[in-house]
Structure 1
Amino acid sequence: MQDALFPDDELPERSQAKPVPPALKKPAARAKTGGLKVNPQTPAPAHLELAEALPELARLGTSSWTYPGWNGLVWDGDYAENQLSKHGLAAYAQHPLFRTVSLDRAFYRPLTAAQYAAYAAQVSDDFRFVVKAPAVVTDATVRTETGRAMQANPAFLSPELAVQDFVLPAMQGLNRKLGALVFQISPLPAALHARLPELLQRLAAMLQALPPLASEAPDAVVAVEVRDPLWLRPEFAAVLREAGATYCLGLHAKMPPIEGQLPLLRALWPGPLVCRWNLHRMHGAYGYEDAANRYLPYDRLVDEDLETRAMLARVINATTRAGHHAYVTLSNKAEGCAPLSVAALAAEIQAQRAG
């Protein structure tokens, strides 16, 4: 591997659609049994083999874990969403391919150290969390419960709130199980597009105010995800590099595909990878509702994106071969079923390493 991501390689050609291998299809669900409040599905042999073959530094997982449609894939029974929310994490973490999860709940309301600690107590020492910063820090506007913008957010990129309401509670609660702190900057109001230099200064001040993570969470990294392509410029990379942070590769219809974001990753190379595959690009910039309607109950792959999967596997392999962590989480809205997407991505990683 060279000193940059794929400097001598051409981008992969679009793959031909292939059927999901039988071992990666949804197995028959079993009846609920006693014991745990939520029982894990017995691991598929193919998943155990894939888990053994994955690079140790590659951590794959999903965005949250509260989906009843994963019955027969992750849960060994039919459970209500609220039951999975309260008791499903321990069962989720027993899936052989899941070594991380995106804790999206923190985006909507800051969590306490005790709440983080309760999550940490449900997983093994080898598990790592990807945690989203509260929207009060990362959204330039104050919104209604339906998402409608009401007014400018005076706390946007506040160093004090970032430290007190996010970083310190997460570090204290998750400790060594903290993997990535993600500041997902929401889409900017049009009026702020011309003020990007000012926003970069505010972002730099916030990132540089964060406490060091290594003593409490030696595997942890700070990452910034954006939802406006206008951020993808050398000045943004410089802010991240100077603060010791990295870029969160955001696979979302609002952003360019991976190859369009590679220059920013190269500017920060070598370093860890944080990636959140949130939404299939076919759904457009505002396609969450369309994706939900198309993919519910999230129990099968509907729109496989083989090109994105292959490119992401290449980035993961390049990162881990260089000796850095890769934290990658996938949403149900990426291809229709996050657990099956994780399994397919793991198979692609293995195939590329063997090729």
Structure 2
Amino acid sequence: MQDSLFDDLDPLPPPTPAPAPSPEGKAAPRARRATAARETLVTAVAPDPALQQIAAGLPARLHMGSSSWHFPGWAGLVWEGDYEQSVLSRHGLPAYAQHPLLRAVGIDRTFYRPLTASQFARYAAQVPDDFRFVVKAPSVVADAMVRDENGRGMQPNPVFLDPLLAVQQFVQPALDGLGHKLGALVFQLSPLPVPMLARLPEVLERLRTLLCALPALAPTAPDAVTAVEVRNPEFLTPAFVDVLREAGATYCLGLHPKLPPIEAQLPLLRALWPGPLVCRWNLNRLHGAYGYEDARALYLPFDQVVDPDPDTRAVLARVIDATTRAGQHAYVTVSNKAEGSAPLTVRSLAQALERRQEMPAPERR
């Protein structure tokens, strides 16, 4: 079901041979329409001088963006004109990457189906050199359960946190295809069943084994980082920090109602300091742990901020500011379900950073 939303990498059908010219030398109208459909492009919205000015003042090590780019409701914000979701999925990334504040994007479809190096390379070819991708690990590695199409756990996953599978189906293809444009590899661990939570030290040991077995990212992607995001607050312990530190990985700040608010997660980042920031702002806390569909129904078509969360934005801006001032990279992706419209949330975050940069040093703390 999820794959149907992300058909941008499915190969286009081979071009239909043009029919023989008529005696008058004119091709059939149907052939012209088919050719035009295959060449559909997405036009980026005209540059906004105000956004360009904000972007020029942002830290070079900061990459913010959305969790995808296929939303028709972003007309006037990212696209010029109206497009079907399938068109945006196939052709929207170059236009998305022209937005001055959108310097990163999440590739979440990899959670549902691993991608090949050549598929990743097609993404990389569509964006500028300073653009970065935040890529989510496949569920076959990151979910402790095998689930049905409705998300119900059916049985334990025998290859959960398998190091060889993680390298073969996730890390190496992403490195080979994205190259230096890789920003963060995120192992988002789905909620663990209760019996497994009772054996959390065993899970942490499996996670340690996986992370320590991954190839070095720096030779291919000097800016890249491996991060672990969780859905069970029971993970947020010194033992979890020890695993991340030993493996040279970081904690992905997961802004989701299944976890404590952002302030309560910051001690993990402090324990790993100095280090990069990876943050995925997934869902507004107003909707509760299982509120994705409620948020989606309320926020469609994702063209305005419906439920502003200035407190989370202020804390996140402070963390971004501190991270980049320390010379570390920051990768922040925002879902439409955070406030209602990811591009507008990113703009608000950028404006909050702009205000912080204008403050005297003592007031930024």
TM-score normalized with structure 2 length: 0.87
Q: Bigger shift: 316-325 or 146-155?
A: 146-155
| 2:92 corresponds to which of 88, 93, 105 | 88
| 2:323 corresponds to which of 307, 310, 319 | 319
Whole-Å Cα distance in 1 between the matches of residues 354 and 252 of structure 2?
23
Whole-Å Cα distance in 2 between the matches of residues 350 and 191 of structure 1?
47
Whole-Å Cα distance in 1 between the matches of residues 306 and 195 of structure 2?
38
Whole-Å Cα distance in 1 between the matches of residues 354 and 232 of structure 2?
32
**Cα gap change, 1:164/1:39 in structure 2, threshold over 3 Å: closer, same or farther?**
same
For residues 241-264 of structure 1, what are the alpha-carbon distances to aligned partners after superposition, in whole Å with 9 as ceiling and x for unaligned? 000000000000111111110111
RMSD: 0.8
Partner of 2:280: 276
Whole-Å Cα distance in 2 between the matches of residues 147 and 95 of structure 1?
34
User: What letter is aligned with 1:265?
Assistant: L
Residue 288 of structure 2 is aligned to residue 300 of structure 1: no
Residue 136 of structure 2 is aligned to residue 132 of structure 1: yes
For residues 11-39 of structure 1, what are the alpha-carbon distances to aligned partners after superposition, in whole Å with 9 as ceiling and x for unaligned? xxxxxxxxxxxxxxxxxxxxxxxx97011
For residues 259-300 of structure 1, what are the alpha-carbon distances to aligned partners after superposition, in whole Å with 9 as ceiling and x for unaligned? 110111111001000000000011100000110011001000
Whole-Å Cα distance in 2 between the matches of residues 192 and 284 of structure 1?
23
For residues 302-352 of structure 1, what are the alpha-carbon distances to aligned partners after superposition, in whole Å with 9 as ceiling and x for unaligned? 000000000000000000000000000000000000000000000001111
- Identity of aligned pairs, percent? 66
Partner of 2:264: 260
Residue 184 of structure 2 is aligned to residue 177 of structure 1: no
Contact 2:40 2:87 in 1 (8 A): no
Partner of 2:230: 226
List alignment gaps of at least 5 residues for structure 1: 1-34
User: What letter is aligned with 1:144?
Assistant: D
> Is the partner of 2:79 in helix, strand or coil?
coil
Give 1:46 deviation, angstroms: 1.6
Whole-Å Cα distance in 2 between the matches of residues 194 and 151 of structure 1?
17
Partner of 1:111: 115
Give 1:107 deviation, angstroms: 0.9
Whole-Å Cα distance in 2 between the matches of residues 79 and 60 of structure 1?
24
User: What letter is aligned with 1:200?
Assistant: L
TM-score normalized with structure 1 length: 0.89
Give 1:145 deviation, angstroms: 1.4
Contact 2:229 2:254 in 1 (8 A): yes
User: What letter is aligned with 2:55?
Assistant: A
Whole-Å Cα distance in 2 between the matches of residues 184 and 278 of structure 1?
12
Whole-Å Cα distance in 1 between the matches of residues 322 and 275 of structure 2?
10
Q: Which has the larger radius of gyration?
A: 2
> Is the partner of 1:270 in helix, strand or coil?
coil
> Is the partner of 1:334 in helix, strand or coil?
coil
Residue 318 of structure 2 is aligned to residue 309 of structure 1: no
Partner of 2:348: 344
Whole-Å Cα distance in 2 between the matches of residues 183 and 318 of structure 1?
24
Partner of 2:52: 48
List alignment gaps of at least 5 residues for structure 2: 1-38, 360-365
Whole-Å Cα distance in 2 between the matches of residues 82 and 148 of structure 1?
28
> Is the partner of 2:60 in helix, strand or coil?
coil
Residue 79 of structure 2 is aligned to residue 69 of structure 1: no
For residues 141-189 of structure 1, what are the alpha-carbon distances to aligned partners after superposition, in whole Å with 9 as ceiling and x for unaligned? 0111111111110111010111000000000000010000000000111
Give the 4+ runs in structure 1 shifted more than 4 A. Answer: none
Give 1:43 deviation, angstroms: 2.2
Whole-Å Cα distance in 2 between the matches of residues 77 and 189 of structure 1?
45
Give 1:190 deviation, angstroms: 1.2
Give 1:193 deviation, angstroms: 1.1
Whole-Å Cα distance in 2 between the matches of residues 353 and 112 of structure 1?
41
For residues 38-72 of structure 1, what are the alpha-carbon distances to aligned partners after superposition, in whole Å with 9 as ceiling and x for unaligned? 11011222211110111111111001001000011
Whole-Å Cα distance in 1 between the matches of residues 72 and 128 of structure 2?
23
Whole-Å Cα distance in 2 between the matches of residues 54 and 98 of structure 1?
12
Q: Which has the higher contact order (CA 8 A, sep 6+)?
A: 1
Partner of 1:209: 213
User: What letter is aligned with 1:273?
Assistant: L
Partner of 2:363: none
